Structure 1
Amino acid sequence: MAVDVPLAHLDRPFDYLVPAELDALAVPGARVRVRFAGKLADGYLLARAEESDHTGRLAYLERITSAEPVLAPEIATLARAVADRHAGTLVDVLRLAIPPRHARVEGETPADPAPAPARPGTQPWERYPRGHAFLDALHTGRPARAVWQALPGEDWPRRLAEVAATVAAAGRGAVLVVPDHRDLERVHAACVDLVGEQGAVALAAGLGPAERYRRWLAVRRGAVRIVVGTRAAAFAPVADLGLVVIWDDGDDLHAEPRAPYPHARDVLVQRAHATGAAFLLGAFARTAEAQLLVDSGWAHEIVAPRDTVRAAAPRVTAIGEDDRQLARDPAARAARLPSVAFEAARAALTADAPVLVQVPRRGYVPALACASCRAAARCRHCAGPLALGGAGSDHAPRPASCRWCGATEAAFRCGTCGSRRLRAVVVGAGRTAEELGRAFPGVAVRTSGGNEVLARVPAGPALVVATPGAEPLAEGCYGAALLLDGWALLARADLRAAEEALRRWLTAAALVRPAGEGGRVVVVAESALTPVQALIRWDPVWHAVGELAGRTELGFPPAVRMAAVDGSPNALADLLDNLRLPPSAEILGPVPLGAPAPDGTAERERALVRVPRSDGRALAAALAEAQAVRTARKESDHVRVSLDPLQIL
């Protein structure tokens, strides 16, 4: 019995007696109610046995909440493996894997299993030398594992639907995990086009509890072979699983924000390894983690030849950000565009094609600084960052205001040098759209980002200003893409800054038509930088190899396993003192997180613990044991433990 008790020292199965009247309903995987420490608690029945090893007195099940076996044995094993890998508890993982019950839905008549579809053709995969062999392996049930480098302009939702349909045609199931709802809609539509409405199901939180549970039950009962969803779909209980797929594993939406913070890629890797299912990781970019899968031999790469890449890619130009380039054209200077970028946009618009303008941040002017000393502009009330929100209804400029408390700062005065002048540190999408409208009069300007994300834009001349990840598809592809303020992406104090910048650039540039059709990409960043060179050459593999080599030399993930431990100074010191780490472990820190408390002490601190990958299990076990000691002692201060986090700085 897995009892839903959020205490680390109680993370183990418990034995209960089954009353005679509940014998027929108490099936493995059912939801139950039991009495635990004098209180009723929910749980899952893991297995039935004739005898128990427990020597004390056993309590009886109180009732069967639902006889529906929602916890499949494979998912129970996977949840235990994920919990052990991330120093978490089984019930925390089960909350991620199993949706809440909806009683009315359980009483509905089950749907009939969808018929096996016909195997799709392999011609679109012929551009990749190993593509045909991979599809053949999927159809014959072999556990092929691959990292796929999608070509620029590739119809990747259709390609993922083809690999899923290939597996379904052989009578097996497939799980496809994508970052967000826009990708989900595209991939699901492509799957439905190949296998029909009954053959594929989309799982998303936005469906509502009843519809989501209805679709999830259809998968659990074996009525659907193909599941498309966001990160929670990695646990989808597909019968006879033959393939797991993840698209764009570098997107931070794949990282679960709830304990024990697993990444969908790691969940799928563990699932493929445990079940013998095939594995496919696809993206326009490549992460260091994906490169490690290739270098270790666990997966093979599917990459197109260089001449095929060059034929499909747009022409990429890198332009520095100094004032001499901006001064060549007065209109270009007004729009913050170097002359080359301005000319590329003008050529695309003349050819009746839309132009994509990628801006790192949304808003108008989301960050301000002193114009004299460049110190960050802060609110006098709460020390929050000051920003500009654009012009008001009367078209008059608004004064700066605080992004934290909202207070207006009409009379700014720098606390460092006393200057009253402000300058923009980063210009947001709103201000960029306004400037482009003045620089290109008569051309429609559309924005996409924040709460207003466009799915598609029609063909024809238009300027589309989008934040990273919110780039809409363009009918007939974009004629050009302008990637502005590259320094804002590359200058972040983050281990993955270069990797993430390249991923965002490649994702946007992949929407542009090939160079042979006039497609241009202009990135405003220094051409000598490694990620910029990788974009110019369209060689994310080269960048990933160098990124992984650098992290190996410095001892950062994924070359090692690293845990980030956050908590108050006393709680963190207590946990570190009780850690029984392997001899290879190294503790870095603790260091303060954020600003200090009014008394000068750190409110929260972070320590990093790293070990070689071979000792990763020992590290997770040591952290889980230390957390169990703290919960057994009923410590009130919470300590957050995250293994292999996306952000460690």
Structure 2
Amino acid sequence: MARVCVDSPLPHLDRPFDYLVPAEAAGTARPGTRVKVRFGGQVVDGFVLERAAQSDHDGRLSFLDKVVSPERVLTPEVARLAREIADRYAGTLSDVLRLAIPPRHARAEAEPPPAEPPPPSGSTAGAAWERYTAGAALLRALADDRAPRAVWTALPGEDWPARLAEAAATSLAAGRGALVVVADARDLERLDAALLRVLGGPGHHVALSAAIGPAERYRRFLAAARGTARIVIGTRAAAFAPVAGLGLVAIWDDGDDLHSEQRAPYPHARQVLLARAEQEHCAAIVGGFGRTAEAQQLVETGWAIEVGATREELRRAMPRVLTVGEHERARDPEAAAARLPSVAWRAAREALTGGRPVLIQVPRRGYLPAVACADCYTPARCSHCSGPLALPAADGVPACRWCGRPAAGHACPECGGRRLRAAVVGARRTAEELARAFPGAPVRTSGRDGILTTVPHEATLVVSTPGAEPLAEGGYGAVLLLDTWAFLTRADLRGTEEALRRWFTAAALARPGAPVVVVADGGLAAVQALLRFDPAWLAARELADRRELGFPPAARIAALTGTPAAVAELLALAELPPGAEVLGPVPAAEGQERMLVRTSRAAGKALALSLKAAAGARSVRKAADPVKIQVDPLDLL
């Protein structure tokens, strides 16, 4: 008899189902294999979770329809992890397994396994970790096959892929596997190259991401599942990778919203890795140039130790941060040139004169991504869908950013004016202004339309949107952070934290002692943290504020989005834990509403399970309108 997880999205069917195993499949229907079963009058996919001698079901059992493959792609560790994540995020096991295990590719599965790679020939020496307090001790603990847990704040200019590669290689040398998750393909390429250098060649690790194609992705997944590759790196879905003998999990820049899954049940890669560290008793590293409130909580609760540099070491590595408030900028006669205050203009000019590149970070891509009436400053909106109008180029026609309709004859509904002015300035317009302000200096842009990986050590202006900043050989001679109000005025729980994370990412690319000019009031908490290059200070403040207000991570909040009737029905069916507080409703898109349910951290799992049970009761009733359940969503306002 086999207990099978059936691929069904219905929450009331989120449990194993027992099936008889035909005699001819007795040797292949092992735990972890893919099978086909008859369920609800259809043949559906499933995974064998375990074999048992007898069933608790009193009725008649059906036979497995087919063993798709004898390959064991679901390990017991990943199955246990998937169950934990499903329960934490009010999801189903089949939804989590859909994220964890890539679709089968028969040709890749039939290929003979690669030969065992030779022993690593590179050096795992981590002398650079000695720059951090407890850094050397962290590597020694990994080498001794212990399970240290650390929140690592990297120094400006740090070659963080090399440091994580050294930690993974140290775990491999101790006979354990390692799993490292990064936010995007560009970071993955850097980490992949660092591991090749540290390990001395290929074969010991694989890189998993959706960008490599289904066949190659499945081929690499099998290398990890079969134990050929003991180190796995990848983007968020790789957090579920079946690493044999896992000794280390690590995540870089956990505040990046790319770590949050966009498919149900919407887990965060950081939480998946922390759950693995608990279940498999392995080491964990949460690293970045900045620090999230969640990472700070790990330190304050004693779950992890803090690994950071001393102030003396930090002063040697950090750039020189300068601030220019908006009131100073308004009085600055030189600020008209390329929207640059004189402090920023001089910093850029000196760097260019010295033959060094300059990085300019702007929060928006495009030319003028938002425009307004030039006479009364009313935001320009589309007459068809009320979406914001944008200007794609200096000689372009305004068009709606939502529906794409051109608005050549736009007239302001308030004053009738037909002239438009910039409400938000994009990267392309900034590049155009900089070209006029610094004639003769080449201007390059890096953003969604084309991301630069590196720029040479020469006098170049690089205009980049956040997250697309290219590396500069030897570091940038100056970094300018413009239009900071776009971050600081976000009506978002994580607005201040996100602003500082993006600033640290850009400022960390500057040469030691080089100027970093931030156009913002120096009295703001985020700017103060940047001035001192102290993300832990702001993270502690953010965590204290959230504790006082009852927001994650100090509390657990579930967001319920759907039609008013559907949300009300789900809440009526849910047996919420004692002390749970219902907040809302607030309007959502397309006639829907959003309700929040808040409870303590200790009751978080009980809240998720109660909402899942209520969703199951609605699915039994065949309720027509779905309700989206998100636990601790990133977009909590």
Task: Give the alignment's TM-score, normalised by structure 1.
Answer: 0.96
SS of 1:147's equivalent in the other structure is strand
What is the CA–CA distance in structure 2 between the aligned matches of 1:237 and 1:499, rounded to whole Å?
Answer: 33
Closer, same or farther in 2 for the Cα pair 1:386/1:54, shift >3 Å? same
> Which whole-Å CA distance do the structure 1 matches of 2:63 and 2:508 have between them?
60
Extract unaligned runs of 5+ from structure 1.
392-396, 598-602
Does residue 1:462 correspond to 2:460, yes or no?
yes
Q: Which amino acid aligns with 1:100?
A: P
The alpha-carbon deviation at position 584 of structure 1 amounts to: 1.1
Match 1:382 to one of 380, 385, 402? 385
Candidates 160, 163, 169, aligned match of 2:167: 163
Q: After superposition, give the CA deviation of every residue in 1:192-237 in whole Å (9 maximum; x if it has no partner).
A: 1111211111111111111111111011000011111000110110
2:251 paired residue number: 246
* Equivalent position of 2:73 in the other structure: 70
> Could you tell me how far 1:577 is from its partner in structure 2?
1.3
What is the 5 A alignment of 1:12-411?
12-117=15-120, 120-195=124-199, 196-322=201-327, 325=330, 327-329=332-334, 332-391=335-394, 397-411=395-409
What does the per-residue CA deviation read over 1:461-517, in whole Å, with 9 as the maximum and x for residues that have no partner? 0000000000000111100000000001110111101000000000000000011xx
1:588 aligns with 2:607: no
How far apart, CA to CA, are the structure 2 residues paired with 1:634 and 1:9?
11
Q: Does the CA-based 8 Å contact 1:2-1:14 persist in structure 2?
A: yes
Question: Which residue in 2 is equivalent to 1:600?
Answer: none
- Could you tell me how far apart the structure 1 residues matched to 2:579 and 2:329 are? 53
Aligned equivalents of 2:69, 2:225: Cα separation in 1: 14
State the shift of 1:115 in Å: 4.2
CA deviation after TM superposition for structure 1 residue 374, in Å: 3.0
Bigger Cα displacement from structure 2, 378-387 vs 219-228 = 378-387
**Structure 1 residues 135 and 421, CA gap change in structure 2 (3 angstroms):** same
Q: CA deviation at 1:381?
A: 2.1
Output the CA distance in 1 between the equivalents of 2:152 and 2:329. Answer: 41
1:394 aligned partner:
none
SS in 2 for 1:15: strand
Structure 1 residue 558 and structure 2 residue 553: aligned? yes
Distance (Å, rounded) in 2 between the aligned partners of 1:53 and 1:451: 58
2:388–2:400 Cα contact (<8 Å) kept: yes
Q: Within 5 A, what are the aligned runs for 1:397-476?
A: 397-476=395-474
What is the root-mean-square deviation in Å for CA atoms of aligned residues? 1.2
Contact 1:114 1:225 in 2 (8 A): no
Are the equivalent residues in 2 in contact too, given 1:325–1:339 (CA < 8 A)? no
**What amino acid is aligned across from residue 17 of structure 2 in structure 1?**
F
Pairing of 1:558-637 with structure 2 (within 5 A): 558-594=553-589, 603-637=591-625
How many residue pairs align between the two structures? Answer: 632
Matched ranges for 1:513-552 at <5 A: 513-515=511-513, 519-552=514-547
Q: Are 1:288 and 1:547, in contact at CA under 8 Å, matched by a contact in 2?
A: yes
- Structure 1, residues 363-384: CA drift from partner, whole Å, max 9, x if none? 0000112334433210112211
Of all paired residues, the percent bearing the same amino acid is 61
Give SS of 1:303's match. Answer: strand
Conserved in 2, the CA contact under 8 Å of 1:447 and 1:465?
A: yes
1:109 match: secondary structure: coil
CA contact (8 A) 1:116 1:171 kept: no
Q: Displacement, 1:325?
A: 4.8
Residue-by-residue CA offset, 1:545-593 (whole Å, 9 max, x unaligned)? 0000011111111110011110011111111111110121001101111
CA contact (8 A) 2:148 2:283 kept: yes
Classify the secondary structure of the residue corresponding to 2:18: coil
Does the C-alpha gap of structure 1 residues 38 and 333 become closer, same or farther in structure 2, counting only changes over 3 Å?
A: same
Distance 1:139 1:324, change over 3 A: closer
- Determine if contact 2:38/2:44 at 8 Å carries over to the other structure: yes
Give, in whole Å, the separation in 2 of the partners of 1:529 and 1:417.
Answer: 36
Quote the Cα distance in structure 2 between the aligned partners of 1:39 and 1:398. Answer: 55
Partner in structure 2 of residue 507 of structure 1:
505
Give CA deviations for 1:105-156 in whole Å, capped at 9, x if unaligned: 1111112333443661131111112011110111111111000000000010
Cα offset, 1:323, TM superposition: 7.1
TM-score (norm 2): 0.98
Query: In structure 1, what is the Cα distance between the partners aligned to 2:630 and 2:118?
Result: 42
Q: Deviations over 1:429-481 (max 9, x none)?
A: 00000000010001000000013001011110000000000000011110000
Q: What secondary structure, in the 3-state scheme, does the structure 2 residue paired with 1:143 have? A: coil
CA distance in 2: counterparts of 1:215 and 1:342, whole angstroms:
49
Distance 1:59 1:588 in 2: 46
Deviation at residue 326 of structure 1 after TM alignment? 6.3
Residues 396-419 of structure 1, C-alpha deviations (whole Å, 9 max, x = no match): x22322112222223332223433
Using the TM superposition, name which of 564-573 and 414-423 deviates more: 414-423
Question: Per the alignment, in what secondary structure is the counterpart of residue 441 of structure 1?
Answer: coil
CA contact (8 A) 2:126 2:163 kept: no
The 1-side partners of 2:369 and 2:615 are apart by 40
Q: How many Å apart are 1:324 and its aligned residue?
A: 5.0
Q: Which residue in the other structure is 2:480 paired with?
A: 482
In the alignment, the residues of structure 2 paired with residue 190 and residue 65 of structure 1 have an alpha-carbon distance, to the nearest angstrom, of: 38
What secondary structure is seen at the aligned counterpart in 2 of 1:408? coil
Contact 1:326 1:333 (C-alpha < 8 Å) held by counterparts: no
- What amino acid is the match of 1:631? S
Counterpart pick for 1:494 among 472, 492, 495: 492
The letter for the 2-side match of 1:178 is V
| Cα contact 1:561–1:611 (8 A) shared by 2 | yes
1:14-35 CA-to-partner distances (Å, cap 9, x unmatched) read 1000010111111111100000
3-state SS of paired residue (2:248): strand
1:641 paired with 2:629, answer yes
Q: 1:10 to 1:186 in 2, by over 3 A?
A: same
- What letter corresponds to residue 203 of structure 2 in structure 1? Q
Q: CA deviation at 1:322?
A: 3.7
Cα deviation for residue 328 of structure 1 reads 2.5
Report if the CA contact (8 A) 2:89-2:630 is conserved: yes
How many Å separate the matches in 1 of 2:95 and 2:77? 17
Equivalent residue of 1:526, what SS? coil
Which letter does structure 2 place at the counterpart of 1:583? P
3-state SS of paired residue (1:133)? helix
